[in-house]
Protein backbone atom coordinates (compact mmCIF):
# COMPACT_ATOMS: atom_id res chain seq x y z
CA UNK A 1 0.00 0.00 0.00
CA UNK A 2 1.39 3.30 -1.08
CA UNK A 3 1.48 6.05 1.50
CA UNK A 4 0.84 9.72 0.90
CA UNK A 5 3.80 11.95 -0.12
CA UNK A 6 4.59 15.07 1.92
CA UNK A 7 5.45 17.50 -0.90
CA UNK A 8 6.60 20.18 1.52
CA UNK A 9 9.20 17.79 2.93
CA UNK A 10 10.46 16.84 -0.56
CA UNK A 11 10.72 20.42 -1.82
CA UNK A 12 12.59 21.71 1.20
CA UNK A 13 16.08 20.40 0.27
CA UNK A 14 15.93 22.04 -3.17
CA UNK A 15 14.84 25.37 -1.62
CA UNK A 16 17.64 25.21 0.95
CA UNK A 17 20.14 24.38 -1.80
CA UNK A 18 19.17 27.39 -3.93
CA UNK A 19 19.36 29.70 -0.95
CA UNK A 20 22.81 28.41 -0.09
CA UNK A 21 24.04 28.89 -3.66
CA UNK A 22 22.73 32.46 -3.74
CA UNK A 23 24.49 33.30 -0.49
CA UNK A 24 27.77 31.80 -1.71
CA UNK A 25 27.43 33.70 -5.01
CA UNK A 26 26.81 37.01 -3.24
CA UNK A 27 29.80 36.41 -0.98
CA UNK A 28 32.04 35.67 -3.97
CA UNK A 29 30.90 38.87 -5.70
CA UNK A 30 31.80 40.90 -2.63
CA UNK A 31 35.18 39.23 -2.28
CA UNK A 32 36.10 39.47 -5.95
CA UNK A 33 34.79 42.95 -6.78
CA UNK A 34 38.23 44.47 -6.78
CA UNK A 35 39.65 41.73 -8.99
CA UNK A 36 36.65 41.93 -11.30
CA UNK A 37 37.18 45.66 -11.81
CA UNK A 38 40.71 44.92 -12.88
CA UNK A 39 39.54 42.31 -15.36
CA UNK A 40 36.97 44.66 -16.91
CA UNK A 41 39.52 47.46 -17.41
CA UNK A 42 42.09 46.85 -20.19
CA UNK A 43 44.77 48.56 -18.10
CA UNK A 44 45.74 51.49 -15.93
CA UNK A 45 45.03 55.00 -17.23
CA UNK A 46 47.67 57.63 -17.90
CA UNK A 47 48.36 59.87 -14.89
CA UNK A 48 46.57 62.82 -16.56
CA UNK A 49 43.39 60.70 -16.68
CA UNK A 50 43.92 58.93 -13.37
CA UNK A 51 40.89 60.69 -11.84
CA UNK A 52 38.74 58.67 -14.26
CA UNK A 53 40.02 55.34 -12.95
CA UNK A 54 37.40 52.85 -11.78
CA UNK A 55 34.48 50.90 -13.18
CA UNK A 56 31.99 53.63 -12.25
CA UNK A 57 33.69 56.10 -14.63
CA UNK A 58 33.90 53.98 -17.80
CA UNK A 59 30.91 55.59 -19.48
CA UNK A 60 32.35 59.08 -19.05
CA UNK A 61 34.60 58.19 -21.99
CA UNK A 62 33.09 55.04 -23.52
CA UNK A 63 29.60 54.68 -24.95
CA UNK A 64 27.95 51.28 -24.56
CA UNK A 65 28.06 50.73 -28.32
CA UNK A 66 31.80 51.65 -28.35
CA UNK A 67 31.23 54.50 -30.79
CA UNK A 68 31.83 58.26 -30.71
CA UNK A 69 34.78 58.06 -28.32
CA UNK A 70 36.25 61.25 -29.81
CA UNK A 71 33.03 63.16 -29.18
CA UNK A 72 33.38 62.39 -25.48
CA UNK A 73 37.07 63.30 -25.51
CA UNK A 74 36.23 66.77 -26.83
CA UNK A 75 33.74 67.41 -24.03
CA UNK A 76 36.77 67.83 -21.76
CA UNK A 77 39.47 68.78 -24.26
CA UNK A 78 37.78 71.98 -25.36
CA UNK A 79 40.96 73.62 -26.70
CA UNK A 80 41.18 70.91 -29.36
CA UNK A 81 37.43 71.05 -29.95
CA UNK A 82 37.56 74.80 -30.62
CA UNK A 83 40.52 74.50 -32.99
CA UNK A 84 38.77 71.75 -34.93
CA UNK A 85 35.63 73.82 -35.21
CA UNK A 86 37.70 76.73 -36.53
CA UNK A 87 39.55 74.49 -39.01
CA UNK A 88 42.89 75.24 -37.36
CA UNK A 89 45.88 73.02 -36.76
CA UNK A 90 46.57 69.32 -37.07
CA UNK A 91 43.40 68.08 -35.37
CA UNK A 92 41.20 69.79 -37.96
CA UNK A 93 42.54 67.47 -40.67
CA UNK A 94 40.35 64.60 -41.89
CA UNK A 95 42.96 61.97 -40.94
CA UNK A 96 42.97 63.06 -37.30
CA UNK A 97 39.30 62.90 -36.38
CA UNK A 98 39.76 59.74 -34.29
CA UNK A 99 41.59 60.71 -31.09
CA UNK A 100 42.54 57.10 -30.29
CA UNK A 101 44.72 56.82 -33.41
CA UNK A 102 47.40 58.98 -31.78
CA UNK A 103 46.40 58.91 -28.11
CA UNK A 104 46.36 55.33 -26.83
CA UNK A 105 45.04 54.89 -23.29
CA UNK A 106 45.08 52.15 -20.63
CA UNK A 107 48.82 51.58 -21.05
CA UNK A 108 49.93 52.78 -17.62
CA UNK A 109 50.52 55.98 -15.69
CA UNK A 110 53.73 56.98 -17.51
CA UNK A 111 53.02 55.71 -21.02
CA UNK A 112 53.66 58.25 -23.80
CA UNK A 113 50.13 59.42 -24.48
CA UNK A 114 51.03 61.06 -27.81
CA UNK A 115 51.95 58.60 -30.54
CA UNK A 116 54.14 59.82 -33.40
CA UNK A 117 54.14 57.45 -36.34
CA UNK A 118 57.79 57.03 -37.30
CA UNK A 119 58.91 59.14 -34.31
CA UNK A 120 58.87 62.86 -33.60
CA UNK A 121 61.55 63.68 -36.16
CA UNK A 122 59.47 62.15 -38.94
CA UNK A 123 56.42 64.27 -38.10
CA UNK A 124 55.24 66.45 -41.01
CA UNK A 125 54.94 69.83 -39.35
CA UNK A 126 53.27 71.40 -42.37
CA UNK A 127 50.14 69.44 -41.39
CA UNK A 128 49.73 71.87 -38.50
CA UNK A 129 49.53 74.84 -40.86
CA UNK A 130 53.04 76.03 -40.02
CA UNK A 131 55.77 74.61 -42.23
CA UNK A 132 59.27 74.36 -40.76
CA UNK A 133 61.88 75.93 -43.02
CA UNK A 134 65.62 76.54 -42.86
CA UNK A 135 67.14 76.24 -39.41
CA UNK A 136 63.71 75.73 -37.84
CA UNK A 137 63.59 72.30 -39.47
CA UNK A 138 66.79 71.30 -37.64
CA UNK A 139 65.59 72.10 -34.13
CA UNK A 140 64.40 69.69 -31.47
CA UNK A 141 60.64 69.95 -30.92
CA UNK A 142 60.97 71.23 -27.36
CA UNK A 143 63.24 74.07 -28.44
CA UNK A 144 60.09 75.82 -29.63
CA UNK A 145 57.39 73.84 -27.82
CA UNK A 146 58.59 75.04 -24.45
CA UNK A 147 56.09 75.80 -21.66
CA UNK A 148 57.81 79.15 -21.14
CA UNK A 149 56.79 80.18 -24.67
CA UNK A 150 53.07 79.63 -24.04
CA UNK A 151 51.34 82.97 -23.71
CA UNK A 152 48.06 82.05 -22.05
CA UNK A 153 48.92 79.14 -19.78
CA UNK A 154 45.96 79.63 -17.43
CA UNK A 155 43.36 79.44 -20.20
CA UNK A 156 44.86 76.25 -21.61
CA UNK A 157 44.99 74.68 -18.15
CA UNK A 158 41.28 75.40 -17.74
CA UNK A 159 40.67 73.56 -21.04
CA UNK A 160 42.12 70.27 -19.79
CA UNK A 161 45.55 70.91 -21.35
CA UNK A 162 48.76 69.88 -19.57
CA UNK A 163 50.82 73.01 -20.23
CA UNK A 164 54.05 71.26 -19.28
CA UNK A 165 53.84 68.77 -22.15
CA UNK A 166 51.40 70.21 -24.70
CA UNK A 167 52.21 71.17 -28.27
CA UNK A 168 49.45 73.79 -28.19
CA UNK A 169 49.65 77.42 -27.20
CA UNK A 170 52.44 78.79 -29.40
CA UNK A 171 52.11 81.83 -31.60
CA UNK A 172 53.66 81.96 -35.08
CA UNK A 173 54.96 85.42 -34.15
CA UNK A 174 58.79 85.32 -34.18
CA UNK A 175 58.94 87.21 -30.89
CA UNK A 176 57.07 84.45 -29.07
CA UNK A 177 60.42 82.58 -29.08
CA UNK A 178 63.05 85.12 -30.13
CA UNK A 179 64.27 88.16 -28.21
CA UNK A 180 63.52 91.51 -29.85
CA UNK A 181 67.03 92.67 -30.74
CA UNK A 182 66.14 96.09 -32.13
CA UNK A 183 64.69 97.52 -28.90
CA UNK A 184 61.53 98.69 -30.64
CA UNK A 185 63.38 100.80 -33.24
CA UNK A 186 62.28 98.72 -36.23
CA UNK A 187 59.28 96.78 -37.46
CA UNK A 188 58.19 93.68 -35.59
CA UNK A 189 57.68 91.93 -38.91
CA UNK A 190 61.00 90.08 -38.79
CA UNK A 191 60.62 88.52 -42.24
CA UNK A 192 60.98 91.91 -43.88
CA UNK A 193 64.71 91.59 -43.20
CA UNK A 194 65.41 88.02 -42.05
CA UNK A 195 64.78 84.54 -43.41
CA UNK A 196 64.74 81.11 -41.74
CA UNK A 197 68.35 80.30 -42.61
CA UNK A 198 69.75 82.50 -39.87
CA UNK A 199 69.43 85.81 -38.07
CA UNK A 200 72.57 87.15 -39.74
CA UNK A 201 73.01 88.37 -42.33
CA UNK A 202 69.68 90.13 -42.73
CA UNK A 203 69.23 88.44 -46.09
CA UNK A 204 65.99 90.09 -47.15
CA UNK A 205 66.74 93.61 -45.85
CA UNK A 206 66.63 96.44 -48.31
CA UNK A 207 67.57 100.00 -47.35
CA UNK A 208 65.04 101.15 -49.92
CA UNK A 209 62.28 100.20 -47.49
CA UNK A 210 63.96 102.09 -44.62
CA UNK A 211 63.31 105.70 -43.67
CA UNK A 212 66.65 106.67 -45.21
CA UNK A 213 67.03 105.44 -48.79
CA UNK A 214 70.64 105.04 -49.82
CA UNK A 215 71.72 106.89 -52.95
CA UNK A 216 75.01 107.60 -54.67
CA UNK A 217 78.16 106.63 -52.77
CA UNK A 218 76.14 105.72 -49.68
CA UNK A 219 75.23 102.50 -51.47
CA UNK A 220 78.88 101.46 -51.50
CA UNK A 221 79.62 102.11 -47.82
CA UNK A 222 79.85 99.20 -45.38
CA UNK A 223 76.98 99.14 -42.86
CA UNK A 224 79.15 99.64 -39.77
CA UNK A 225 80.59 102.84 -41.22
CA UNK A 226 77.27 104.50 -40.45
CA UNK A 227 76.07 102.12 -37.76
CA UNK A 228 79.03 101.86 -35.33
CA UNK A 229 79.00 98.93 -32.93
CA UNK A 230 78.39 99.55 -29.25
CA UNK A 231 80.17 97.96 -26.35
CA UNK A 232 77.47 95.26 -26.22
CA UNK A 233 78.49 94.28 -29.80
CA UNK A 234 75.08 95.17 -31.23
CA UNK A 235 75.28 97.51 -34.21
CA UNK A 236 73.09 100.54 -33.60
CA UNK A 237 69.90 100.52 -35.60
CA UNK A 238 70.60 97.36 -37.63
CA UNK A 239 70.41 93.60 -37.22
pLDDT tens for 31-87 read 444 444 445 678 999 999 999 999 899 989 988 777 778 999 999 999 999 999 999
Is 225 found in the same domain as 203?
yes
Show which of 175, 197, 231 is a domain's final residue. 175
Q: Is residue 120 part of a domain?
A: yes
State the residue range of the domain holding 65. Answer: 51-175
Asked if residue 221 lies in contact with residue 238, where contact means CB atoms within 8 angstroms, the answer is: no
Domain count, the chain: 2
Q: Indicate whether 95 pLDDT > 80.
A: yes
Q: How far is CA 122 from the centre of its chain?
A: 17
Same domain, 231 and 161: no
- Model-level pTM? 0.65
| Inside any domain, residue 130 | yes
Same domain, 63 and 162: yes
Residue after which a domain boundary falls, among 175, 202, 217: 175
Q: Both 205 and 159 in a single domain? A: no
The DSSP secondary-structure symbol of 106 reads S
Which residues lie below 8 Å from residue 135, measured CB to CB, with a gap of 6+? 196, 197, 198
- Render pLDDT for 116-144 as a digit per residue (tens, 0 to 9): 888 888 999 999 999 999 999 999 999 99
Amino acid sequence: MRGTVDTATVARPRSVGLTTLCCIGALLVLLLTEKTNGQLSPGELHRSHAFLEGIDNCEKCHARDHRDLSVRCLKCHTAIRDRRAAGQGLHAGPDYADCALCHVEHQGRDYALIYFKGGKKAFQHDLTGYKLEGRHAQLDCRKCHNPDHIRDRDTLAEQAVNVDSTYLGLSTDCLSCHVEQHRGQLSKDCRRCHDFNGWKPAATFSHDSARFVLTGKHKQVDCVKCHPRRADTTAQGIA
